[in-house]
Amino acid sequence: MLKKLIRLSSYPLILGICAAGIILLDFHNDRLWPWSTLIALAGVLAVGLLERFAPFEPRWLQTQDDVLTDLWHNFINLSLIQFASVVLFVWTDSVPTDWRLWPTDWPFAAQLLIVAVILDLSLYVMHRLSHDVNWLWKLHAIHHSPERLYWLNGERRHPVHALLLAAPGLTLLAIVAAPQNLIAIWFAILTVHLAFQHSNLDYTLGPLRKWLGVAEVHRWHHKREFEDAQVNYGEFFMIWDRLFGTFYAVERRVNADELGLRDRTFPRTYWGQLKYPFTTDSHARSKA
Ligand SMILES: [Zn+2]
């Protein structure tokens, strides 16, 4: 009964409560920091806790020398994106005023949707390029290195790659003078979504899984066979995969030993993973 409840309601309930909390906070306070971050972290922790009760794959509950490394990835990358968006918006003061095309008189929900769509498309394009362009793949391979998926994997990325993924969308939003609070709201919601997307939680979104990048479709993207992983790139919306022909309707569950890279000697420490893209044979080792 509990497992069924978790399976059907955890995503809409936790993501919904976190999103509503962050948006209400924005309506009643001038500053989102640090409460929006704390709400997002509570959402991520809830995913981690629920995994213990209803795991998708019980064998993935066993740590693989990865928790400390992933905590570092989360801390560094979430801080970096926050810092980058603040710096970018200081710079926009020098952008000509006639470039500031943001529709400030549109309803809040419509403005938030524009932010979400621009950032999501940017993430999709950069993610797809990261599989095709060799030097980008060297940076992105870190994200594909886990041999189990769990709540902390969403932010396992090289910090340079985390910045590159968000850069086009963030720059465009800064140029058109999108309100900074909307970007902070969307990144906080996305943080909770990414924990779900990579979680070892047995949950389902039913037919909606064809439209949102939840674990049911995203686990396939982490398959060890590089050829299999060229689908389901979407971060939040699956609309880009469907439009550009990279959507794959997953028909069977991914098995416990099917994840990771062909290179089974991938470094496990944070520092080792930071250095990995700059080792001479890293591209060949991770794809071949
Ligand atoms: Zn990928």
What's residue 66's pLDDT? 95
Distinct helix (H) and strand (E) counts, the chain: 11, 0
Nearest Cα neighbor of 196 from 159, 235, 157, 165 is 235
Counting every residue written for the chain, the total comes to 288
Q: Ligand 1 mean position to 141 CA, how many Å?
A: 8
* C-alpha 4 – ligand 1 centre gap (Å): 30
Q: How far is the centre of ligand 1, averaged over its atoms, from the C-alpha of 235 (Å)?
A: 10
> What's the CA-to-centroid distance between 50 and ligand 1, angstroms?
25
Distance 122 CA to ligand 1 centre (A): 14
What's the gap in Å between 190 CA and the centre of ligand 1? 17
Ligand 1 centroid – CA 179 distance (Å): 29
Q: Kindly calculate the radius of gyration of the chain based on its CA atoms and give it in whole angstroms.
A: 19
Between the CA of 32 and the centroid of ligand 1 the distance, in Å, is 31
Tell me, in angstroms, the distance from the centre of ligand 1 to residue 75's CA.
21
Q: How far is the CA of 280 from the centre of ligand 1 (A)?
A: 21
- Burial (0-12, 13-18, 19+ Cβ within 10 Å), 264: exposed
Both tokens of 129, joined, read: 């390029």
What pLDDT is recorded for position 29? Answer: 77
Q: CB within 8 A of 131, min separation 6: which ones?
A: 137, 140, 229, 230, 233
pLDDT at 248: 96
The pLDDT value recorded for residue 285 is 57
Gap from CA of 143 to ligand 1 centroid (Å): 7
**Cis status of the peptide bond prior to 168, with omega within 30 of 0:** no
Q: How far is the CA of 140 from the centre of ligand 1 (A)?
A: 7
CA of residue 121 to ligand 1 center, whole Å:
15
Ligand 1 centroid to Cα of residue 93, in Å, is: 35
Residue 222 burial (CB < 10 Å; 0-12/13-18/19+)?
Answer: buried
**Which residues in the chain show pLDDT less than 50?**
none
For ligand 1, the distance from its centroid to the CA atom of residue 230, given in whole angstroms, is 8
Half-sphere exposure of 75 (CA within 13 A, CB side): 7
Q: What is the pLDDT of residues 233-267, one digit of tens each?
A: 999 999 999 999 999 999 899 999 999 999 888 99
